[in-house]
C-alpha cells in the first residue's frame, strides 16, 4: 500500500479541483467556447406554444426567404422517429400532435443568430387546441398513466393499522424544480469523411448520445463519436434530455455538410426541457403512544409529463426511499406515474429519493405533534438499528445512523436550543422560530442493474505523466479530480502528473451516465483496476532490474552482447514493490529506482504501459416484480439540524443555522466533498423553499428566466453553516473506502422544510389551535408560509 493512501487532513485540503484555476480565470472551455470553423452554421428549434393540440398545417415559406437561412427541417428527416430511455414513446420532432408547450416541431439552420430569430417569427403553424391535462389529480381522474402501478410490501399492514392506538391520514404535495444549470443545452456536430460525425456536447451520457444519433439518422454506431470535455452543470437535466439536441444538430450537419452549432438560450431551455417530477403522496400511519411506527401505507403519484423519459425509474427510487432512515415492520408503498401535458419530467439530483424521504419526515413531524413530543425523540425511537432490514429486504449494514443522531444532537446543542426556541416563541413578537433534525439513508447505485458498470483506459507516458480516460463526465462536481487522485495514489506520484482526458466514446465505449452518485465510484474503481495492472507489470520489471548489474540499466546493449530482454508474466497480478514519492522501493533488498527510470526500462523491454480496466458493482440484485432484493451497493448516511424564523406578517423564511454531519466513509479530498455537501444542501433548500414553477391556465411555463424563477442567493444560505464528516474506517467495499457524496446532501435540506412546519406548529399552538397539524406544501414559499400562518 502506497504512502499516498494515508494522506493527512492538510494534504487532502491541498488537492484542488483540476479546473478551479481555469474557472476563476475564465479560460475553461465549454461547448460554445469552441472557435467557429469555416462554414459553420448555427441551429435553433421552433417549439409548440400550446400544451395540447393537433398540428393542422406548417408554413415555412416566408421563413426560408429570410436572408441567411440555410434550411428548415421537420420530422421527415428523422429515420427513427420515436425515442425514449425506458419506453419508446416520444417523437424527436412533432408532426401531427403536440403534447406539451415546448415540444420541438422544427429545426432551423442559418448563417447567424439574427437570421434564426427572424425566421422563427415567420414560421406559421396552425393548431387545433385540445383539452390539456395539467395536474396529477386530473390525470388520476382520467386514468392517464405511464407504466404500471408498482408495489413494495411487507408485513400485515391493514391488520396492524386497524389495531394501532393512533392513526394519521394525509396528503403531501411537492412541486417540481428546474435544474437551472449555468450552461444551457449545447452541442456542435462536425461532419467527417465517409459519413461519420463527431459531436461535442454538454451531456452526462455520451454513449446514449452516440447511440441515439446513430439510430435517429440510420447510421452505424461506429460512425458517431461523442466527446464531452466538461459541462456547466447538469444535476440530471443532461442525463437523457441532451441527446435530442445532438440529433437536431447532426441532421443539419449532414444535410448541409457543415459544422452545426446548437446552443439554447436559458429562456428556451427552461420551456423545452423537463424538471424534477412533482409528486402528490397519500399516506396513512399507525403508531403507539411512544411514537413507534407500527404500520405505514404510502400511495405515491408523480407527474411524468407528456412522455415517460425516466419517470418510472424515478418512481422506483422514491418507493425504495420511502422508509428513509426508519424501520417500519409493516409497510406498503405503491407508485404510479401520471401522464400530463407538461414537458417530460426527468432525472434531478436525488432522483426520486427526496420525494419518498420528505413524505416520511412529514409523517414523523405529525406524529410528534399528535403526541405532544419532540420530533427528534420520535425519530430516535424509529431509526434503523444494526441488523434490521428495509421494506424491500436489504440489510442495513455498516449502520452508523444511531451514532450520528446522538453525535449531532450533542454537537448542535439541540436540547438547550429547543428550550430557547420555546421561550422565544412564548414571548410573542413578529417572528416565530422552528427547528428540526432530519436524516438520510441514500442507496448508492443505479436501480437498473446493467447500468452499474464502467471502464477506464490508463496510459503511462515516458516522462512519468499519466493520461486517464473514463466514461465519467465532469460537470463541476470534481469527478476528474477524484479519479486523478485514485491513479496518483496508486502509482505513488503527484496528482499534478495525472491528467483526466475529455470523455470520448472512441476511448470508453458502452458507458453509463454519470448519475446516481456513482460516477466517482464506478469510474474511479475502473481506473484503479487499470492502474493496478500496469503496476503489476512494472513490479516485475523493477525486480528484474534490481537483480541485474547496475551498468545494464537504461541500455539496449551491454559491452559486445545484447542485454537479455525482461520477460513479463501477464498472469502475475501481484505487486511486490512499493510505489511512493515518484520512486519504486523493494522492501526485500532496499533497492530503489525512480519512476521515470523504471518506465524507461519497461519501454526498452517492450512492456506495455497502457491498460484497460473494467468494474461493476458486485452483489446487487432487485426483483422489480416482487419488490425485493439488494438494489444498493451501500448507503450514504447523514443528519442535519436546521433552525428557521418565520415573519408572521410577511411569511418570509430565514434559515438561521444548519448543522450537517455526514458519513462519507474515508474522506479523500475534503475540499471537493465540502463543496458537494454545501452545494447540494443549498440546492435542496431551493427545492423546499423558493423554487416555484408557475404555469398559466393553458399549461405554458411562466417562470422561465432568472428574473422570475427564484434559486437561492447568498442571502438565503444559513446564517451559521456547520459541516462535519465522521471518521468511518469500516467502509472497505468502495474505492479507497470512500462513499458517494453527489446526491445525498441535497436531502438533508428537508430539515429546513420540517423546521418551517415546526415553526407553524408553534404559531398554531399560540393561537389556541393545539390539535391542528399545519399543512404545508413544498416548496414553502413566502406566499405558502403566509397562507399557513393566516389559516
Q: What is the pLDDT of residues 223-277, one digit of tens each?
A: 999 999 999 999 999 999 999 999 999 999 999 999 999 999 999 999 999 999 9
The reported pLDDT for the residue numbered 587 is: 95
Q: Are residues 304 and 284 part of one domain?
A: yes
Q: Are residues 208 and 127 part of one domain?
A: yes
pLDDT for 769 beyond 70 = no
Q: Is residue 50 part of a domain?
A: yes
pLDDT for 562 beyond 80 = no
- Which pTM does this prediction carry? 0.96
429: left (phi over 0), alpha (psi -120 to 50) or beta: left
Q: Are residues 539 and 499 part of one domain?
A: yes
The whole-angstrom separation of Cα 139 and Cα 478 is 40
The answer to whether the peptide bond before residue 776 is cis (omega within 30 degrees of 0) is no
Q: Are residues 240 and 99 part of one domain?
A: yes
Give the number of domains in the chain.
3
Q: Are residues 776 and 735 part of one domain?
A: yes
Q: What is the pLDDT of residues 302-359, one digit of tens each?
A: 999 999 999 999 999 999 999 999 999 999 999 999 999 999 999 999 999 999 999 9
Q: Is residue 158 part of a domain?
A: no
- Phi, psi (rounded to 5 degrees) for 617: -60, 130
Q: Compute the residue count for the chain.
A: 791
The whole-angstrom separation of Cα 536 and Cα 460 is 13
Q: Given 202, 230, 263, which residue is the final one in a domain?
A: 263
The whole-angstrom separation of Cα 561 and Cα 563 is 7
Q: What is the CA radius of gyration of the chain?
A: 28
Q: Is residue 323 part of a domain?
A: yes
Q: Is residue 389 part of a domain?
A: yes
Q: Are residues 443 and 505 part of one domain?
A: no
- Say if CB 353 and CB 166 are below 8 A apart: no
Q: Are residues 289 and 432 part of one domain?
A: yes
Q: Which secondary structure element, helix H or strand E, spans residue 319, and what is its range?
A: helix 311-320
Burial 17-52 (b: 16+ CB within 10 A, else e): bbbeeeeeeeebebbbebeeeeebbbbbbbbbebbb
SS3 readout for 147-173: EEEEEEEECCHHHHHHHCCEEEEEEEE
The whole-angstrom separation of Cα 749 and Cα 747 is 5
pLDDT, averaged across the chain: 95
Percent of the chain beyond pLDDT 70? Answer: 97
The whole-number average pLDDT for the span 588-616 is 96
Q: Are residues 253 and 107 part of one domain?
A: yes
Q: Are residues 366 and 217 part of one domain?
A: no
Q: Given 616, 636, 662, which residue is the final one in a domain?
A: 616
The whole-number average pLDDT for the span 491-520 is 97
The reported pLDDT for the residue numbered 458 is: 98
Q: Is residue 172 part of a domain?
A: no
The β-bridge partners of 701 are: 695
pLDDT for 486 beyond 50 = yes
The whole-angstrom separation of Cα 50 and Cα 101 is 5
Q: Is residue 322 part of a domain?
A: yes
The reported pLDDT for the residue numbered 677 is: 98
Q: What is the pLDDT of residues 189-200, one digit of tens each?
A: 999 999 999 999
The reported pLDDT for the residue numbered 722 is: 98
SS3 readout for 744-787: HHHHHHHHHHHHHHHHHHHHHHHCCCCCCCCCCCECCCHHHHHH
Residues noted as catalytic = 743
Q: What is the CATH number of the domain that holds 417?
A: 3.30.365.10
Q: Are residues 374 and 284 part of one domain?
A: yes
Full DSSP string of 389-438: B-TTS-B--S--HHHHHHHHHHHTTHHHHHHHHHHHHHT-SSEEEEEEEE
Q: Is residue 472 part of a domain?
A: yes
Q: Are residues 395 and 286 part of one domain?
A: yes
Which residue segment(s) compose the domain that 219 sits in?
Answer: 34-131+185-263
Q: Is residue 178 part of a domain?
A: no
Confidence label for 549 from pLDDT (cuts 50, 70 and 90): confident
The reported pLDDT for the residue numbered 75 is: 97
Q: Given 616, 633, 648, which residue is the final one in a domain?
A: 616
Q: Are residues 541 and 641 part of one domain?
A: no
Structure letter (DSSP) for residue 352: T
Q: What is the CATH number of the domain that holds 205?
A: 3.90.1170.50
Amino acid at each position: 500500500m502506497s504512502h499516498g493512501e494515508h494522506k493527512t487532513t492538510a494534504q487532502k485540503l491541498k488537492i484542488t479541483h483540476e479546473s478551479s484555476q481555469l474557472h476563476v480565470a475564465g479560460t475553461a472551455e465549454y461547448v460554445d467556447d469552441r472557435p467557429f470553423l469555416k462554414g459553420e452554421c448555427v441551429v435553433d428549434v421552433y417549439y409548440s406554444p400550446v400544451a395540447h393540440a393537433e398540428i393542422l398545417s406548417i408554413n415555412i415559406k416566408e421563413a426560408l426567404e429570410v436572408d441567411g437561412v440555410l434550411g428548415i427541417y421537420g420530422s421527415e428527416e428523422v429515420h427513427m422517429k420515436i425515442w425514449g430511455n425506458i419506453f419508446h414513446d416520444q417523437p424527436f420532432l412533432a408532426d401531427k400532435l403536440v403534447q406539451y408547450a415546448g415540444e420541438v416541431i422544427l429545426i432551423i439552420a442559418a448563417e447567424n443568430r439574427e437570421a434564426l430569430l427572424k425566421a422563427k417569427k415567420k414560421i406559421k403553424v396552425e393548431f387545433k387546441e385540445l383539452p390539456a391535462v395539467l395536474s396529477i389529480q386530473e390525470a388520476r381522474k382520467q386514468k392517464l398513466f405511464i407504466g404500471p402501478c408498482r408495489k413494495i410490501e411487507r408485513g400485515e399492514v391493514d391488520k396492524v393499522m386497524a389495531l394501532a392506538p393512533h392513526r394519521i391520514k394525509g396528503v403531501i404535495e411537492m412541486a417540481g424544480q428546474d435544474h437551472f444549470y449555468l450552461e444551457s443545452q449545447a452541442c456542435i456536430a462536425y461532419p467527417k469523411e465517409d459519413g461519420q460525425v463527431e459531436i461535442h456536447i454538454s451531456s452526462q451520457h455520451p454513449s446514449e448520445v452516440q447511440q441515439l444519433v446513430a439510430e435517429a439518422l440510420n447510421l452505424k454506431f461506429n460512425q458517431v463519436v461523442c466527446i464531452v470535455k466538461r459541462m456547466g452543470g447538469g444535476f440530471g437535466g443532461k442525463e437523457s434530455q441532451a441527446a435530442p439536441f445532438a440529433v437536431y444538430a447532426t441532421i443539419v450537419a449532414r444535410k448541409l455538410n457543415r459544422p452545426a452549432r446548437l446552443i439554447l438560450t436559458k429562456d428556451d431551455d427552461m420551456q423545452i426541457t423537463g424538471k424534477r417530477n412533482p409528486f402528490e403522496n397519500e399516506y396513512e400511519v399507525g403508531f403507539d403512544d411512544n411514537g413507534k411506527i407500527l404500520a405505514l401505507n404510502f400511495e405515491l403519484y408523480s407527474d411524468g409529463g407528456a412522455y415517460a423519459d425516466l419517470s418510472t425509474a424515478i418512481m422506483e427510487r422514491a418507493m425504495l426511499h420511502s422508509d428513509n432512515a426508519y424501520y417500519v415492520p409493516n409497510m406498503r408503498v405503491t407508485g404510479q406515474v401520471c401522464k400530463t401535458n407538461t414537458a417530460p419530467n426527468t432525472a434531478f439530483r436525488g432522483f426520486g429519493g427526496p420525494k419518498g424521504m420528505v413524505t416520511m419526515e412529514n409523517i414523523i413531524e405529525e406524529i410528534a405533534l399528535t403526541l405532544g413530543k419532540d420530533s427528534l425523540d420520535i425519530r430516535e425511537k424509529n431509526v434503523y438499528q444494526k441488523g434490521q432490514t428495509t421494506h424491500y429486504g436489504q440489510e442495513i449494514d455498516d449502520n452508523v445512523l444511531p451514532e450520528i443522531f446522538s453525535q449531532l444532537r450533542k454537537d448542535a446543542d439541540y436540547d438547550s436550543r429547543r428550550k430557547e426556541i420555546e421561550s422565544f416563541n412564548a414571548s410573542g413578537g413578529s417572528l416565530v422560530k422552528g427547528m428540526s433534525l432530519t436524516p438520510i439513508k441514500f442507496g448508492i447505485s443505479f436501480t437498473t442493474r446493467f447500468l452499474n458498470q464502467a471502464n477506464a483506459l490508463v496510459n503511462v507516458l515516458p516522462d512519468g505523466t499519466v493520461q486517464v480516460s473514463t466514461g465519467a463526465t465532469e460537470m463541476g462536481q470534481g469527478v476528474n479530480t477524484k479519479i486523478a487522485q485514485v491513479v496518483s495514489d496508486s502509482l505513488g506520484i503527484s496528482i499534478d502528473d495525472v491528467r483526466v482526458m475529455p470523455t470520448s466514446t472512441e476511448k470508453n465505449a458502452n458507458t453509463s451516465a454519470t448519475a446516481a452518485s456513482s460516477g466517482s465510484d464506478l469510474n474511479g474503481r475502473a481506473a484503479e483496476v487499470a492502474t493496478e495492472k500496469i503496476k503489476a507489470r512494472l513490479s516485475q520489471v523493477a525486480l528484474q532490474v534490481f537483480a541485474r548489474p547496475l551498468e545494464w540499466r537504461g541500455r539496449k546493449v551491454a559491452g559486445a552482447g545484447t542485454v537479455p530482454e525482461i520477460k513479463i508474466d501477464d498472469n502475475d497480478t501481484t505487486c511486490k514493490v512499493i510505489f511512493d514519492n515518484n520512486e519504486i522501493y523493494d522492501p526485500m533488498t532496499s533497492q530503489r529506482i525512480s519512476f521515470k527510470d523504471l518506465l524507461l526500462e519497461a519501454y526498452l523491454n517492450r512492456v506495455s504501459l497502457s491498460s484497460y480496466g473494467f468494474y461493476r458493482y458486485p452483489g446487487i440484485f432487485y426483483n422489480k416484480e416482487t419488490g425485493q432484493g439488494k438494489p444498493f451497493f451501500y448507503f450514504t448516511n447523514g443528519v442535519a439540524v436546521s433552525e428557521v424564523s418565520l415573519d408572521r406578517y410577511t411569511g418570509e423564511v430565514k434559515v438561521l443555522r444548519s448543522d450537517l454531519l455526514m458519513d462519507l466513509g474515508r474522506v479523500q479530498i475534503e475540499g471537493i466533498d465540502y463543496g458537494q455537501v454545501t452545494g447540494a444542501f443549498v440546492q435542496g433548500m431551493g427545492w423546499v423553499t423558493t423554487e416555484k414553477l408557475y404555469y398559466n391556465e393553458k399549461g405554458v411555463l411562466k417562470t422561465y428566466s432568472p428574473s422570475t424563477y427564484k434559486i437561492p442567493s447568498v442571502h438565503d444560505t444559513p446564517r451559521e453553516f456547520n459541516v462535519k464528516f465522521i471518521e468511518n474506517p469500516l467502509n472497505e467495499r468502495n474505492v479507497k473506502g470512500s462513499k458517494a457524496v453527489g446526491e445525498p446532501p441535497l436531502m438533508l435540506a428537508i430539515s429546513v422544510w420540517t423546521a418551517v412546519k415546526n415553526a407553524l406548529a408553534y404559531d398554531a399552538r399560540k393561537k389556541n389551535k393545539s390539535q391542528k397539524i399545519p399543512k404545508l406544501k413544498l416548496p414553502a414559499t413566502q406566499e405558502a408560509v403566509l397562507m399557513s400562518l393566516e389559516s
